[in-house]
Amino acid sequence: MTNHIEIFRTPERQVVGVAEWLVTQMLESHGDFRLVLSGGNTPRPLYEHLGRQPYRDRIPWRRLRIFWGDERFVPYSDPASNFGMALTAWLRDAPIPHDRVHPIPTDDTPEQAASSYEALLRENAAGDVKAEPRPLFDVVLLGLGADGHTASLFPNSPLLEEKERWVAAVSGQPLPRVSLTLPAISNCRHVVFIVTGSDKQRAAMGAIAGDQRLPAAHVKSRGEVLWFLDREAAAPLYHK
């Protein structure tokens, strides 16, 4: 597993670069393409870009299967909802079959939602009848907090030591959350971190360097971990 770093002069160029890379991965794949979306403000421009031409017509919608890395335990209509953001930015008007979009449920309790989502993931994994075992996901998109958290895996969280569960409830934050755990996130072909802004610079450089105090540094994949950074986030590495 290696880190691959790409630096873009502006967030706009970053969006185009990530979109092109992602759609190329989709088109070069076979069978279902299992994509995990991240939440927060950073990926919104990417989702909006993917909803416009030429990407809208290039995406193999009927092979795409979409999951989420984490979710705040609020109704989908709440501005804090990761699913709600992706829906309004990209998926509401996309020609994707509804049964291929898998938001984390936010009814009942966080613990029950985590159990239900894990059952869904395991059902999808068991339904893969290919001769050779394949990763749970093809691409996992992740953001990065200034404190080094990713998905809803925060510094000093006991979930960083989780070995068995794929999904877990997260407490201790202003809003309860449900998150994929490291065993699920890392069971993928590629992890993609999308990071913008000088406030994320220290966390990005630390995670890339392997600082184990930062949750993002614990993330692995079966292939590459890709870091798509804008110039501000990557300032110590930027020489142009």
pLDDT digits over 54-66, tens only?
A: 999 999 999 999 9
User: Where does the pLDDT of residue 240 fall: very low under 50, low under 70, confident under 90, or very high at 90 and above?
Assistant: low
Cα–Cα distances (Å) from 110 to 66, 84, 102, 176, 179, in that order, read 20, 17, 16, 7, 10
> Residue 136: its pLDDT value, please?
94
Q: For residues 176 and 105, give the distance between their C-alpha atoms in angstroms, rounded to a whole number.
A: 13
Q: Average per-residue pLDDT in the chain?
A: 93
Neighbours of 162 (CB within 10 A): 16
pLDDT digits over 168-226, tens only?
A: 999 888 899 999 999 999 999 999 999 999 999 999 999 999 999 999 999 999 999 99
Domain total in the chain: 1
Per-residue pLDDT at 88 exceeds 80:
yes
Q: For residues 68 and 230, give the distance between their C-alpha atoms in angstroms, rounded to a whole number.
A: 23
Domain that holds residue 143: 2-222+231-237
pTM here is 0.95
Query: Is-contact 201 229, C-beta < 8 A?
Result: no
End-to-end CA distance of the chain: 28
CATH of the domain at 14: 3.40.50.1360
Q: Is the dihedral of CA 85, 59, 103, 139 positive or negative?
A: negative
Q: For residues 74 and 177, give the distance between their C-alpha atoms in angstroms, rounded to a whole number.
A: 9
User: Where does the pLDDT of residue 132 fall: very low under 50, low under 70, confident under 90, or very high at 90 and above?
Assistant: low
